[in-house]
Amino acid sequence: MKVLGFESSCDETGVALVETRPEGVPRLLAEALHSQVDMHAAYGGVVPELASRDHIRRVLPLATQVLQRAGCTLADVDLVAYTRGPGLAGALLVGAGVAVALAAALGKPALGIHHLEGHLLSPFLADDAPQFPFVALLVSGGHTQLMAVAGVGRYELLGETIDDAAGEAFDKSAKLLGLGYPGGPALARLADFGDPQAFALPRPLLHSKDLDFSFAGLKTAVLTQHRKLGTNVCEQSRADLAASTQAAIVDVLVAKSLKALKQTGSRRLVVAGGVGANQRLREMLNAGAAKIGAQVHYPPLALCTDNGAMIALAAALRLQHGLAVLQTDGAFDVRPRWPLAELS
């Protein structure tokens, strides 16, 4: 079975074709992505209306590209999957509308996928795919969650952020430092030249007994330090503040992930979502996990941030596990707010 997947929940239009295999993990045949980062950069963040309009412009040409790259035609597609939520309502409607219309035209079913389930299962596209059960650290622009994953569609929330997401902490701190959007990668690049111990920034909830996170206070601390540095701040101080910010976020993510492994007795951690691309996070997690004999799995670096492959993959895995409620009547809705735990 071949699954064509569409992702359009935020500022990336992603399309991919995945093929199920009788045994083993579905195979990625081709994918294409258009990032709207340059378009939104001028505004310092995502402008929802512009995002929707750009998805409309990109989605069909990307689908054509994907089919060409895979050496397939629309007639080869057995199922059309799309991101149903969470995300920007208008942006979601573009991908969902196109996917459901395409499915109806082809006489094939459609399937709405949870964006975070896509992230969560994306490490199955890597060479060292994990085995169930595992603990997942989901770190994206809008979410920071630890989940116990027993199998496809079996997700239990262990802890989550009570305010800002880790990606948001990166993005907002980057903005304070005068770095562009998206801030995460920019802050990480500047941090390479700085001293992570130069500024003593808070590690909120580091020692709390639960597995929750809080990053709002960190942003305020970064703002305070930045103000103290004044307007004529030298490049080294900015790099030091970037490195200290990154270290504070990473320390908390690593500590809570290791705590989740201990609490659940699991020895497998899966990291997914845009912040999973962060090199310091990867290094610290790998080192911490190695100490307790645990292994960390990541999606391929290019599939950490939003993409169509993870949506097509999640649909293919749901199909394989008999968990796909297929839509055949041309009707659909989107879920801009949609807790992942509702899937279980």
Q: Which residues bind ligand KG4 (CB under 6 A)?
A: 10, 140-142, 167, 170-171, 182-185, 188, 273-275, 277-278, 305-306
54 binds, among Zn ion, ligand KG4, none (CB under 5 to 8 A by kind): none
| Nearest distance in Å: CB 122, ligand KG4 | 10
Least gap, CB of 333 to ligand KG4 (angstroms) = 20
Closer of 113 and 275 to ligand KG4 (Cβ): 275
- Measure the CA dihedral 101/107/113/115, to 10°: -40
Tell me the C-alpha distance between 15 and 274, whole Å.
17
Q: Which is nearer to Zn ion, 184 or 196 (CB)?
A: 184
Reported as half-sphere exposure (CB side, CA atoms, 13 A), residue 172 has a value of: 18
Q: Report the C-alpha gap between 62 and 66 in whole angstroms.
A: 6
Look up residue 197 and give its two tokens: 């111990």
Nearest to 250 by CA among 303, 193, 173, 180: 173
- Quick one: what does residue 185 bind among Zn ion, ligand KG4, none, with the CB cut-off 5 to 8 Å set by partner type? ligand KG4
Q: What residues line the site for Zn ion (CB under 5 A)?
A: 140, 306
Please list the alpha-helical segments (H only) found in 177-322: 183-191, 216-229, 235-264, 279-291, 309-320
Least distance to ligand KG4 from the beta carbon of 88, Å?
11
Cβ-based neighbours of 190, under 8 Å, separated by 6 or more: 177, 179, 238, 239, 242, 243
**Rounded to the nearest whole angstrom, what is the least distance from the CB of residue 73 to ligand KG4 in the complex?**
30
Cβ proximity of 288 and 258 under 8 Å: yes
Q: Using CA atoms, how far apart are residues 137 and 114, in angstroms rounded to an integer?
A: 16
CB 170, min distance to ligand KG4, A: 4
Q: What, of Zn ion, ligand KG4, none, does residue 11 touch, CB below 5 to 8 Å by kind?
A: none
* Residue 169 to residue 251: CA distance in whole angstroms: 13
Comparing CB distances to Zn ion, the nearer of 120 and 258 is 120
* In the complex, least distance from residue 5 CB atom to Zn ion, rounded to whole angstroms: 14
CA atoms within 13 A on the CB side of 86: 12
Q: What is the DSSP letter of 45?
A: S
Cβ neighbour number for residue 306 with a 10 Å cutoff? 26
Residue 277's binding partner out of ligand KG4, Zn ion, none, with CB under 5 to 8 Å set by partner kind: ligand KG4
Nearer to ligand KG4, 272 or 289 (CB): 272
- In Å, the largest CA–CA distance within the chain is 63
Q: How far is the CB of 283 from ligand KG4 (least distance, A)?
A: 12
Which strands make up the sheet holding 144-151, listed edge to edge? 154-160, 144-151, 134-139, 268-272, 295-297
- Looking at the Cβ atoms of 225 and 307, the one nearer to Zn ion is 307
CB of 17 to Zn ion, least distance (A): 20
Q: Which is nearer to Zn ion, 54 or 306 (CB)?
A: 306
Q: What are the backbone dihedrals phi and psi of residue 35, each rounded to the nearest 5 degrees, phi first?
A: -95, 135
The closest residue (CB) to Zn ion is 140
Pick one of ligand KG4, Zn ion, none as the site partner of residue 194 (Cβ within 5 to 8 A by kind): none
Which of ligand KG4, Zn ion, none interacts with 188 (beta carbon under 5 to 8 A by kind)?
Answer: ligand KG4
Residue 167 partner contact from ligand KG4, Zn ion, none using kind-dependent CB cut-offs of 5 to 8 Å: ligand KG4
Residue among 196 and 273 whose Cβ is closer to ligand KG4:
273
